[in-house]
Structure 1
Amino acid sequence: MTFDGAAMMIIIFLINIVYVTFLTMRTILTLKGYRYIAAAVSVMEVLIYIIGLGLVLDNLDEIQNLIAYALGFGSGVIVGMKIEEKLALGYIMVSVIALDRSELSPKKLREKGYGVTDWTANGLDGDRQAMQILTPRKYELKLYQLIKELDPKAFIISYEPKTIHGGFWVKNIKKGKLSR
């Protein structure tokens, strides 16, 4: 393989990482409802895709270019996912069931700025404290850590809400009053 061949492989590999990173980000942005940003990202995505695919199609007899394309594609998925993890777009709803007498209380969570709705629930072994906690995804891991510190045996389930409307927490987000 010549220097030109190796350079072509590296270029195809890097172009595909960039392309698939844009593809992954566009998909996530679309799912999260950022349609105009997703549309702008898709313009860049298509331009990069056409350039990369053109390089591969012009050199179909070079198997290493196909391999570089495939490896770049897989790497781009990972890079796109890592970027999305860092951006942590959206919100998370966490359902927690704690022992009724645990250190984990709605008051402690509210003091940290979390929106909490709580009620008493009945479990197999007696009363439990049930809570719904809403937080931006960027605070998700801190919330899990706090819950586990206060009640290591707490039962936790989380999901991403599609729509949020009304309530105390939404008002505080708009006023910038959340503190972590």
Structure 2
Amino acid sequence: MDFKEVIIITLILLIIGINIVYVSINTLRTILVIKGQRLFASVISVFEVGVYLFGLTIVLKNLDKPVNIIAYCIGYGAGVYIGSLIEQYLALGYVEFQIIVDSVEQDLPRLLREKGYGVTSWNGEGKDGLRLVLRVLAKRSNEKKLMKYLNEIAPNAFVISYEPKNFIGGFWTKNIRKF
């Protein structure tokens, strides 16, 4: 491999790498804005745009080689994937579960409270009679652990989860405001 080929391969890898970094930061910034973390999102956007301009400059100076444009596209796609993996790993925010079990006799609220989860429960009426309905708030980083625990203690429960954005009142808000 001669020097010119080494330069071309290095340039391609550089373009891919820069775009992976740029789009990963872009993905995280977008998620932070959605979750209301505007200040942190603004700070990382400074780095995001710097990386973007650096990568775009390299590509625009080398438009004569279509492989650079392909490298840019590959880096962009890989960046979206890696950015989503990073966000999933960080598990920012909270998740709320609605759990419905087929018997009001369940000891589920107490078991969940003993594990440190905030639980609100009430009786509901379903097609086949009374049901126990629970609302449980947890950190997203505990979502899989809670799902596994629910599967162990209430394997037939109907569970829906979603991400709440705003919190007012309740004992959880004291903990949330610290962060």
Q: TM-score range by the shorter chain?
A: over 0.9
Name the structure 2 match of 1:15. 18
Unpaired runs of 5+ residues, structure 2, are none
Name the structure 1 match of 2:133. 130
User: How many Å apart are 1:150 and its aligned residue?
Assistant: 1.1
Name the structure 2 match of 1:96. 99
Aligned length: 176
TM-score for the superposition, normalised by structure 2: 0.92
CA distance in 2 between partners of 1:172 and 1:65 (Å): 49
Contact 2:97 2:159 in 1 (8 A): yes
Distance 1:104 1:84, change over 3 A: farther
TM-score for the superposition, normalised by structure 1: 0.92
The residue type paired with residue 98 of structure 1 is: V
1:111 aligns with 2:114: yes
User: How many Å apart are 1:102 and its aligned residue?
Assistant: 6.9
Percent identical: 47
Root mean square deviation of aligned Cα: 1.8
Distance 1:45 1:172, change over 3 A: closer
CA distance in 2 between partners of 1:150 and 1:57 (Å): 58
Name the structure 2 match of 1:178. none
CA distance in 2 between partners of 1:137 and 1:168 (Å): 18
The residue type paired with residue 166 of structure 1 is: G
Name the structure 2 match of 1:163. 166
SS at structure 2 position matched to 1:2: helix
Unpaired runs of 5+ residues, structure 1, are 176-180
